[in-house]
Amino acid sequence: MTIPRSGRYIHDMNKNLTGKNYIVVGGSSGIGAATVTTLLDAGASVTVWSRSEPAELVSAGAEWAAVDVTEEIDATSLAIPEVLHGLVYAPGSINLGSFRQLKPQVYLDDFNLNVVGAVRALKVTMPALSAAEGASVVFFGTVAATVGMQFHASIASAKAALIGLAKTLAAEYAAKKIRFNVVSPSLTDTPMAARLLRDDKKRAAAAERHPLQRVGAAEDIASTAVFFLDPDNSWITGPVIGVDGGLSAISGL
């Protein structure tokens, strides 16, 4: 696996992220891995929580812990920093199909992964986030949660719930200076989306659906996530930022 590298923000953020601690849940590939790489390049200490070990990221300096967010997390088995400056929750799913096709279990699985998993991760890290006296939590949504798209009923429902969770927690933890923000991408060129971009025809059709006429790159999404983690941007909490080639905001016609 080749981990994308991004030089965005590195110059400005070295002074901010050196010596700071971050956990990226689901950081072994795709957008999560790009976020880990950007944080490492900015001097941060990063731990990846995922089911499989990301060998290349570990070689680059990340720590790794085996965590499956679809099950209860045993905090006693994890080396969580006493002070945690940020948590990025990157797991996701692309279960597409018509309403008639999608079984109720698909909805339950998507909700468990995207929402309940985030709750599990937060429950075990909240003491360390509180100790930072200015921590940042970043979730990843989807453009489909706010723009009606065929065949996205399950994932759009789950991500809409995640957005609701973020906004609620942004209000609840504002006094403790823990910020919650959501980066909401459109189709991004990652391993998870490979089947949707498996040939030139599909890739071209996907690009044409976006006003900016291209599919997103993992670095596009990661750089925005790291923007929210940057202490210089600590007066932002609660919004959902669409990094989606203009799909949610403007017409491509």
- Tens-place pLDDT, residues 44-73: 999 999 999 999 999 999 999 999 999 999
Structure-block tokens of residue 246:
């203009």
pTM over 0.85: yes
**What average pLDDT does the structure give for the chain?**
91
What does the chain come to in residues?
253
Determine the pLDDT at residue 76: 93
Closest to 128 (Cα-Cα) out of 185, 81, 92? 81
Determine the pLDDT at residue 157: 97
Identify whether the C-beta of residue 53 lies closer than 8 Å to the C-beta of residue 28. Answer: yes
Residues with Cβ within 8 Å of 71's Cβ and at least 6 positions away in sequence, in order, are none
Give the count of beta carbons closer than 10 Å to the beta carbon of residue 215: 22
The single residue listed with the structure tokens 């017409």 is 251
Determine the pLDDT at residue 9: 47
Domain 10-243 belongs to what topology? Rossmann fold (3.40.50)
The low-confidence residues of the chain, meaning pLDDT below 50, are 1, 7, 9-11, 13-14
